[in-house]
């Protein structure tokens, strides 16, 4: 069972996968942001993109949070 994206009705990331994924820099937990299709690492202040349901867990691809 995945988390539903309200706009498309898709499940872009599986809940079990989200439980296993951690920030590659801090090893901290991640929060799913369905509105932006990103995984948020509060500890690293980064947002990792999810493209076609695949988390891109590269710091070089992450967006810095304000």
Classified by CATH at the fold level, domain 2-64 comes out as N-terminal domain of TfIIb (2.20.25)
The domain limits of the chain are 2-64
pTM of the model: 0.80
Task: Write the pLDDT tens digit of every residue in 20-66.
Answer: 999 999 999 999 999 999 999 999 999 999 998 899 999 999 999 98
Beta carbons within 10 angstroms of residue 51's beta carbon: 10
pLDDT at 8: 47
In sequence order, the 6+-apart residues with CB closer than 8 A to the CB of 24 are 57, 58, 59
Which residue, 66, 65, 56, is CA-closest to 23?
A: 56
**CA separation for the pair 24, 56 (Å, rounded):** 11
**CA separation for the pair 48, 28 (Å, rounded):** 13
Q: Is the pLDDT of residue 7 over 80?
A: no
């Amino acid at each position: 069972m995945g988390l539903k994206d309200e706009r498309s009705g898709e499940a872009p990331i599986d809940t079990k996968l989200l439980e296993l994924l951690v920030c590659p820099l801090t090893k901290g937990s991640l929060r799913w942001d369905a509105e932006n299709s990103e995984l948020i690492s509060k500890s690293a202040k980064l947002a990792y993109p999810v493209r076609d349901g695949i988390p891109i867990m590269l710091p070089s691809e992450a967006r810095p949070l304000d």
